[in-house]
Amino acid sequence: MHKQKLHHVLKERFGYDELRPGQEEIIQAVLAGKDVVAILPTGMGKSLCYQLPAYLLGGTVLIISPLLSLMQDQVEQLKRLGEKRVVALNSFLSYQDKQRILFNLSSYRFVFTSPEMIFQPIVRDQLAKTNLSLIVTDEAHCISQWGFDFRPDYLRISDWLKTFQRPPVLALTATATSKVVHDIQEYLQMYKPFIHIHSLDRPNIRYVIEKLENQDQKTEWLVSHTKTYEGPGIIYTQSRQRAEALSAILNESGTRSGFYHAGMEQEDRVFVQQQFLSGELQWVCATNAFGMGIHKDDIRQVIHDHLPATPANYIQEVGRAGRNGNDAVAFLLYTEGDEERTRFVVNEEIPIKHFIEMINEKKSNGENPARLVDDGFMNETDFRVLSYWLERTDPVETIQIVERLRMDKNRQIQDMLKLIEDTTCLRGKILTYFGQELDESKKPLNCCSVCGVNLNNLLTKQKEELTSASFSSWEERLGQLFPI
């Protein structure tokens, strides 16, 4: 592809002179018509990897996004860049608007939508008539993380891609376990994709495991820690209730904090998010609902009040710290037995066998099995997931599949426990888990709670003042780097 034109668009449209190393390779591969899996840390300019090609390829670029808020953000960002031919095709639209947009899909350069939306017959039909030049799956780890037991439509993307002469597919994510990469390739029907994996090590993030006796000690630790050290920070909790209770305790102790979880009204969620982004709020106590789409680069601390369900979740959440390259610390508060509660939440004691029988019974009676949800026998998520598997295999195998999923989840909790054992360097173990190696020469002095960490050097207010004193002599700077 013509390099000249590429740089012209890059400069004129986006205002950049050059691409970053990873971006260049990814964009060249996309322009060459290859399927691409791009794994880049958040904040490394993922969106440019499809936005730039859109101007060179012509046609319509379809972006599949997991969250409505993410779509809105991207649409606004493109509009600010002067793009008018951009739209989010989702449930926010009125019936009229949706119809109007659907019958003019080809007039858009960027169409953002959800996996669920693609499976509405009318959307599917109209997409088939549109000249798609590229299909992008944003936050593609969702295929692996949500597809199997939460949002099965992520897996159905695979079926859809088989039904037509599809354009190249680009998968973007920051999560790179071998399972995630494998699932992406399989469910996006990729053929010998170009895979770009950026190094996952984040030398400016320090990992600390804090072993405590019980929940009350955790609370005390959090109260005193947030009094001593500066935010901004996220405290991840296991339950919505704990997020709210902890936030109240911190507020009483004089540390202003907010809470965030999926059980809140949309406007309250947006409000907390805005306050955190603007710096009005230093701390947010949140469930794992808080994160994706929160673009804040000066988060200095991510604290886990519970044991995350998988190493991938842990790294994803921790990775939200220190995006600006400044020192950041990730704490995990662990009490013996925490894994039991994580196991419970993840396993959900679903009487799967019973549910499958119920669905089959309804079907053989000629009734609509969806009634089971309406009548309160089953929650919607379980119904959707089981329906997905029952559509493509028999009940016996469905039971096996669900059992395998459960075993896999339990194994990942064990992996998580192994990760936090204080035997060898945490940073090294994390990288090994993701199939990478620790470059010893780049290992920071303050590494992890196994290698040793000096918090006072990292988190106190004093430190911030020192680093901002940019006119200090080299002797002074050396003194700061290597305090006696």
Partner DNA sequence: CGACGATACTATAAAGTATCGTCGGTGCCTTATT
Among 381, 410, 457, 460, binds DNA (CB under 7 A): 381
Per-residue binder mask for DNA (CB under 7 A), 81-120, x = binder: ---------xxx-xx--x--------------xx-xx--x
What is the distance between the alpha carbons of residues 310 and 257, in angstroms, rounded to a whole number?
26
Residue 27 or 333 having the CB closest to DNA: 333
Is residue 344 a contact residue for DNA (CB under 7 A)? Answer: yes
Residue 48 or 123 having the CB closest to DNA: 123
Contact in structure between 277 and 303 (CB atoms under 8 Å): no
Is residue 179 a contact residue for DNA (CB under 7 A)? Answer: no
Helix (H, G, I), strand (E, B) or coil at 353: helix
E strand or H helix that includes residue 328? strand 328-334
Residue 262 or 396 having the CB closest to DNA: 262
Is residue 366 a contact residue for DNA (CB under 7 A)? Answer: no
The stretch near DNA (CB under 7 A) out of 5-13, 257-265, 271-279, 439-447 is 257-265
Cα maximum dimension of the chain? 83
Residue 152 or 233 having the CB closest to DNA: 152
Is residue 312 a contact residue for DNA (CB under 7 A)? Answer: no
* DSSP one-letter code for 321: S
Contact in structure between 405 and 167 (CB atoms under 8 Å): no
Among 76, 297, 340, 421, binds DNA (CB under 7 A): 340
Min CB(23)–DNA separation in Å: 27
Residue 139 or 201 having the CB closest to DNA: 139
One-letter amino acid at 427 equals R
**Token pair of 198 as six digits:** 């950026």
Min CB(234)–DNA separation in Å: 13
The stretch near DNA (CB under 7 A) out of 19-27, 173-181, 338-346, 441-449 is 338-346
Per-residue binder mask for DNA (CB under 7 A), 386-425, x = binder: ----------------------------------------
**Token pair of 285 as six digits:** 């106590």
Min CB(465)–DNA separation in Å: 37
Treating both helix axes as pointing N-terminal to C-terminal, what angle do 48-57 and 3-14 enclose, rounded to 10 degrees? Answer: 120
Among residues 432, 401, 137, 150, the alpha carbon closest in space to that of 311 is found at 432
* DSSP one-letter code for 236: E
The stretch near DNA (CB under 7 A) out of 283-291, 353-361, 388-396, 446-454 is 283-291
In three-state form (DSSP H/G/I as H, E/B as E, the rest C), the secondary structure along 145-212 is HHCCCCCCHHHHHHHHHHCCCCCCEEEEECCCCHHHHHHHHHHCCCCCCEEEECCCCCCCEEEEEEEC
Contact in structure between 124 and 157 (CB atoms under 8 Å): no
Residue 113, phi then psi, degrees to nearest 5: -155, 175
The stretch near DNA (CB under 7 A) out of 261-269, 273-281, 439-447, 469-477 is 261-269
What residues numbered 118-177 form the site for DNA, per CB under 7 A?
120, 145-146, 149-151, 153
What is the distance between the alpha carbons of residues 92 and 482, in angstroms, rounded to a whole number?
55
Residue 337 φ/ψ region, left for φ over 0, alpha for ψ in the -120 to 50 degree band, beta for the rest = left
Among residues 120, 218, 212, 203, the alpha carbon closest in space to that of 160 is found at 120
Min CB(334)–DNA separation in Å: 12
Per-residue binder mask for DNA (CB under 7 A), 33-72, x = binder: ---------------------------------xxxx---
Among residues 285, 295, 352, the alpha carbon closest in space to that of 320 is found at 295
Residue 145 or 173 having the CB closest to DNA: 145
**Token pair of 293 as six digits:** 């789409």
Is residue 337 a contact residue for DNA (CB under 7 A)? Answer: yes
Among 32, 81, 128, 262, binds DNA (CB under 7 A): 262
Is residue 288 a contact residue for DNA (CB under 7 A)? Answer: yes
Contact in structure between 63 and 74 (CB atoms under 8 Å): yes
Residue 410 or 436 having the CB closest to DNA: 410
**Token pair of 300 as six digits:** 């200095």
Is residue 482 a contact residue for DNA (CB under 7 A)? Answer: no
What residues numbered 216-255 form the site for DNA, per CB under 7 A?
238-242, 245
Q: Which residues bind DNA (CB under 7 A)?
A: 66-69, 90-92, 94-95, 98, 113-114, 116-117, 120, 145-146, 149-151, 153, 214-215, 238-242, 245, 261-263, 287-289, 309, 313, 335, 337, 340-341, 344-346, 348, 380-381, 384
